[in-house]
Amino acid sequence: MIPLEGVIPSYSPGQFMFLHFLDAQGASVIRRPYSIASSPNSPYLEFAIDMVGGQMTGRLAKVQAGEILGIEGPAGHMVYRNEPHAAFVAGGTGISPFMSMLRVIAEKNLQGRFVLFYSTRTKDHVLFSDELDALQKKHTGIKVVVTLTREAPDGWRGECGRLNHEMIAKHLPEAKDFDWWVCGPPGLVKAVRDCLSMLSVDPKRLRLEGWG
Ligand SMILES: Cc1cc2nc3c(=O)[nH]c(=O)nc-3n(C[C@H](O)[C@H](O)[C@H](O)COP(=O)(O)OP(=O)(O)OC[C@H]3O[C@@H](n4cnc5c(N)ncnc54)[C@H](O)[C@@H]3O)c2cc1C
């Protein structure tokens, strides 16, 4: 979470910001996009960033409190606009834009059905786990399906294995009546697009964002 002094730029749930490292003159030396996880109503911007040891993440891992970073944005068209039948598919840190969306849905108590499919490696990789449980309790229209791709721990009550069309249909037989947002590694985005096509989801109802 990066506290900002002053005004938070207004943004829609699903958008991203560019973060910049700056040189001594304030010019950008590294710039990368990151999806915003916080609700637009929050007094801060929150990001979930996988520290992959690259140019940006290598420096972010060592960032000190008080260090000044630049932000630019918002940007991106994968936004949520209060659609009442909304299904989200996240892979890894692709959960970020959907946290923003689900937080808004719960804050506004929007009426409808909202289903999140969240694919991640292990139970320890589930981000926002407690908050996702709390969101489901707070808002009865929200349902979260987590699938673990690299383990099947004892007592785990979620799904295991890669997301496929059978898993989607099991939890959301009315898939074709929903709007869909998919965010994560390009391989997952393509696989889910194919699954949704098998489930007769109209491609016009899909918003896709692949990265990682
Ligand atoms: C619209 C958009 C939104 C994004 N939102 C997020 C977000 O919310 N959280 C987030 O963590 N990232 C997000 N990314 C990815 C992010 O912008 C960077 O690409 C990522 O943090 C790596 O940057 P880097 O400078 O550290 O790595 P680079 O120096 O660019 O790459 C270094 C090496 O790391 C590899 N690498 C890069 N990314 C990954 C990865 N995810 N896993 C494994 N290896 C990798 C590269 O292939 C390369 O070999 C987003 C990207 C886009 C386009």
> Per-domain residue ranges for the chain?
16-75, 85-210
CATH number for the segment(s) 85-210:
3.40.50.80
Closest CA to 38 of 174, 139, 131: 131
Dist. CA 33 → ligand 1 center (Å)? 8
User: Among residues 76, 65, 101, which one has the least CA distance to residue 86?
Assistant: 101
Distance of CA 78 from the midpoint of ligand 1 (Å): 18
pTM for the model: 0.94
pLDDT, position 96: 98
The predicted pLDDT at position 5 comes to: 54
Distance 135 CA to ligand 1 centre (A): 28
Q: Where does ligand 1 bind, in terms of residues with CB under 6 Å?
A: 16, 32-35, 47-50, 52, 54-57, 76, 93, 96, 209, 211-212
Residues of the chain with confidence (pLDDT) below 50: 1
Q: According to the model, what pLDDT value does residue 2 have?
A: 52
CATH topology of domain 16-75: Elongation Factor Tu (Ef-tu); domain 3 (2.40.30)
* Radius of gyration of the chain, Cα coordinates, nearest whole angstrom: 18
Residue nearest to atom 14 of ligand 1 (CA): 34
